[in-house]
Amino acid sequence: HMKGAIFDLDGVIVDTAKYHFLAWRLLAEELGFVFTEEHNERLKGVSRTRSLDILLEIGGMEFSEAEKLAMADKKNRLYVEYISGLNESALLPGVKEYLNSLRARGVAIALGSASKNAAFILDKLNIAGLFDAVVDGNKVTLAKPDPEVFQTACKELGLQPGECVVFEDAEAGVAAGKAAGMLVVGIGKPEVLKEADLVVAGLHEL
């Protein structure tokens, strides 16, 4: 019996991956190498600093911590510029309907995202008011597949792990949900999200 639902943001509620991609690609271009959409798959669900490390590994480049901090900042400024135009129309199919149906059934709702821009995005999408708790990259230190983000969300809802269901599109996120002892609904392809308890193409299917 589900008492709490914990949602990942990028890939579940909104497709911000394309904007992350545009910003990272521009940074790679400035550094003199090509960053493809296939490369970008490796950054999904991964924190900003870890994403930069992967990007630089792909480009075969090394920088100091200070230089990397400046690059991550620059990427984020570009990204925030891209997403500043987001509105309700960017919500993935069925999101609003599903969140409202959960609320009507008395299920508590939380966000469990790696993004430090999560609150800004929820606000732009006009759905911030539907969440009882928002746990994002500003609140947790350990990245998925570590279960910290979902454990914190569950605690903030005042629930036990066994009472929560996680909705995730990334392999690392599914692993994090399972490690937290929660049921996990994968959003995407069953052949990719093998560890999930159930896989659907999107929230519109629920």
6 binds Mg ion (CB under 5 A): no
Tell me, residue by residue from 164 to 193, as one string, x for binding to Mg ion by CB under 5 A and - for no binding: -----xx-----------------------
Active site residue 8: yes
45 binds Mg ion (CB under 5 A): yes
For every residue of 39-58, DSSP letters joined together read HHGGGTT--HHHHHHHHHHH
For every residue of 156-194, DSSP letters joined together read HTT--GGGEEEEESSHHHHHHHHHTT-EEEEES-TTT-T
Q: Which is nearer to Mg ion, 15 or 197 (CB)?
A: 15
8 binds Mg ion (CB under 5 A): yes
129-158 in b/e form (b: 16+ CB < 10 A) is ebbbbbbbbebbeebbbbbbbbbbbbebbe
Ranges within 115-174 binding ligand B16 (CB under 6 A): 115-117, 137, 170
Q: For strands 4-7 and 164-168, give the pairing.
A: parallel
Question: How many chain residues bind Mg ion (CB under 5 A)?
Answer: 6
Cis omega before residue 145 (within 30°)?
A: yes
Q: Which is nearer to ligand B16, 4 or 106 (CB)?
A: 4
Shortest spacing between CB 16 and Mg ion, in angstroms: 9
Stretch near Mg ion under the rule CB under 5 A, chosen from 40-48, 176-184, 188-196, 198-206: 40-48
Q: Which is nearer to ligand B16, 74 or 103 (CB)?
A: 74
Distances from the Cα of 139 to the Cαs of 35, 59, 90, 144, 200, in angstroms?
Answer: 30, 30, 25, 13, 29
11 binds ligand B16 (CB under 6 A): yes
Active site residue 15: no
201 CB neighbour count, 10 Å cutoff: 13
For ligand B16, the binding residues (CB under 6 A) are: 8-11, 20, 43-48, 51, 76, 113-117, 137, 170
For Mg ion, the binding residues (CB under 5 A) are: 8, 10-11, 45, 169-170
Catalytic residues, by residue number, are 8, 10
